[in-house]
Structure 1
Amino acid sequence: MKPFHSLLQMIDTLHTEEDCREYLEDMRWHGEPVCPHCGSISKHHYKLTQKGEFKGLYKCKDCRERFTVRIGTMFEDSNLPLKKWFYAIFLFLSHKKGISSAQLARDIHVTQKTAWFMLQRIRQNIKDDDATFDDMTQMDETYMGGKTSDKHKRRKKYNASKTGKKDMGRSVETKAPIFGMISDGKAYAQVVPNAQKETLLPIINERVRKGSTIITDGLSSYDELSKNYIHKIVLHSKQIYCVNGFHTNSIEGFWSLIKRGILGIYHMVSKKHLPKYCKEFVFRYNTRSMSDGERFNLFLQQPTERLYYGELLMKPEWIW
């Protein structure tokens, strides 16, 4: 099925629950229903033809269990119609910096609590990026979090007078470090406990092919990269941002997308949920050459799983 060109086209095409169900069946099954109970794939599963809420109900010819296209997915046992789910997914994936739960609640006429849970379900089912890099790879780390007392001007001057160094306000006590890479237009980001070499080097060795060119700033954690890689250093501390064509502008631009999204759209994020937000921005960035409809179809075609509300109730530690 061809992807939609816009949200308006999707609304015109999928304006009933049956239309949405058939579209989801086509995206997931491609004409061959799959039993979520035993995994049996067959065109000859019994299609029960009851009307109303039982439309789209199948019976497996092998295990004899009944199922619908919702079973075993993020839509299972949801009281919301697929129509609202599809609108939420399309809006979420097409907005460059995301969409807030308050705005989504107004757009699809649900409560803010319901919209927040929907967005968390969608983020949960964005697959982890298993990207590997073997070309010129830019690396950097950033810190997500709000202001601390050390960032006040008076405290900054005091620290600078004592240490002789500029206070960057990078305390992991109140901030969450994120490590990222970009190569050939493809990004990767991971929340890490700290930016020390014992944390960063294993990630780099796992995802970057030996002998590749790596471009970083002057952080000492990267000092040992020259053993296995061609290491180019751009000393930002000396106001140098490009050396013989080598720079970290791409990864810096990616950080700006995440920070503008969290500051401008979401406002507050907890350390517990920050990895999901990173996956969200990585997915949009890596699929930016796709149309909104192609990105929407890609998400529906991927396997999804149900997220229970109780998993989200643990008290988070807010960083913004």
Structure 2
Amino acid sequence: MSMNAIQFQRGLSLAQFQAQYGSEPQCERALVAARWPQGFRCAHCGCKRYFLTRNGQGRQLWECFLCGYQSSSIAGTVMEHTKLPLTVWFVAMYLMTQHKGGISALALKRHLGVSYKSAWLLKHKLMQTMAQHDASYRLQGRVEIDDAYLGGERAGHINGGRKAANKSAFVAAVQTRPDGRPLYVHLTPVADFTNQDMRQWAQQHLAPGCHVVSDGTRAFAQVCQAQATHERYVTGGGRQGAQTPQLRWVNTVLGNLKTSLAGTYHSFDHAKYAGRYLAEFAYRFNRRFDLPAMLPRLLKALATTAALPLKVIRGSEASS
């Protein structure tokens, strides 16, 4: 049996991480380079000239030469108002990108030496950034899709419908390469698998001209409303349905997702936060071809994503 080159590729080792991001100045320089790759530009007037100064907490500030507006490297980003050192953020990014199965907020608390509240908030800001960063991509070419659920007795298939206790519906979609192997995945929460919900999902997540392969769920025919062609297989439920060769990769992804969530999280409020946990899994999957680059790419997303208000991040306590 040949070795899977993707699975056995070199990641970003702990020694390499420490060498690149082991101190606060190193993290600051990396963040500044990610936020202003062409050099500082004032957010108020666009001026490129500035003075360097520091605030009362010792954080470096860029003061615009023209209008006097002061900005730190984290102002206007997801990290705005954080009281945690940048090194803590970078360790969290390292753990969330280099661990295949992810890491819970409780485990982050122990690794980072911060309170559970801080670890939970940091993790959810990172997950929300991942979700927003991938949301605009539309799947192309051949796409396998399936209806799936979080919670309940069976997480992968319909069992009493969406309204069954403790179940949240989502669409699993996998874009495959010309050689048939998976390339990109979308895991998107939906209200239900109705014609209206699937039509809206298809218009948002499918590029015109793609070819969709699905099981017998009737609402999936709505992908044609997004100018996609549709190939349907009535597979039935259980093991037989999961072994349908035309839907091999979407079922494989769902199996890996279930294993990842069960092995990492004791529980979480999927009714509120399913989108983020699904996005975290998808973010790592979609960038699995280059593990060392995953952290700098997430840093770039953090540096260019607008600040996330607390009310957006935290609707209630989570139990992850």
For structure 2, which runs of at least 5 residues remain unmatched after alignment? 1-10, 177-182
**Does 2:127 correspond to 1:112?**
no
Cα deviation, 1:19-44, whole Å, max 9, x if unaligned, reads 211121112112511334x15251x3
* Aligned CA distance change for structure 1 residues 220 and 317 (closer, same or farther; 3 Å): farther
What TM-score, normalized to structure 1? 0.81
**Does 2:39 correspond to 1:47?**
no
**Residue of structure 2 aligned with 1:129, choices 135, 140, 143:** 135
Aligned residues: 294
Counterpart for residue 106 of structure 2: 102
* Aligned CA distance change for structure 1 residues 310 and 168 (closer, same or farther; 3 Å): closer
Counterpart for residue 168 of structure 1: 159
Shift of 1:200: 0.7
Q: For residues 213-232 of structure 1, what are the structure 2 equivalents within 5 Å?
A: 213-223=211-221, 229-232=228-231
* Aligned CA distance change for structure 1 residues 78 and 207 (closer, same or farther; 3 Å): closer
* Aligned CA distance change for structure 1 residues 79 and 206 (closer, same or farther; 3 Å): closer
**Does 2:15 correspond to 1:8?**
yes
Q: C-alpha separation between the residues in 2 aligned to 1:18 and 1:68?
A: 13
* Of 252-261 and 278-287, the range deviating more from structure 2: 252-261
Q: C-alpha separation between the residues in 2 aligned to 1:195 and 1:136?
A: 21
Q: C-alpha separation between the residues in 2 aligned to 1:213 and 1:206?
A: 15
Letter of the structure 2 residue corresponding to residue 282 of structure 1: A
Identity percentage of aligned residues: 21
> Would you say the 8 A contact 1:143–1:176 is kept in 2?
yes
* Aligned CA distance change for structure 1 residues 204 and 311 (closer, same or farther; 3 Å): closer
Q: CA RMSD in A?
A: 3.0
> Would you say the 8 A contact 1:182–1:251 is kept in 2?
yes
For structure 1, which runs of at least 5 residues remain unmatched after alignment? 152-165
**Does 2:303 correspond to 1:297?**
no
Q: For residues 225-240 of structure 1, what are the structure 2 equivalents within 5 Å?
A: 229-237=228-236, 239=240
Cα deviation, 1:165-202, whole Å, max 9, x if unaligned, reads x9824342431100121112111121000012221123
Higher-Rg member (1/2) = 1
Shift of 1:265: 1.1
What TM-score, normalized to structure 2? 0.81
Q: C-alpha separation between the residues in 1 aligned to 2:268 and 2:207?
A: 33
Cα deviation, 1:267-310, whole Å, max 9, x if unaligned, reads 3222111111122112111111122x311111111212333444
Q: C-alpha separation between the residues in 1 aligned to 2:120 and 2:261?
A: 14
Letter of the structure 2 residue corresponding to residue 254 of structure 1: V
**Does 2:63 correspond to 1:59?**
yes
Counterpart for residue 87 of structure 2: 83
Shift of 1:139: 0.8
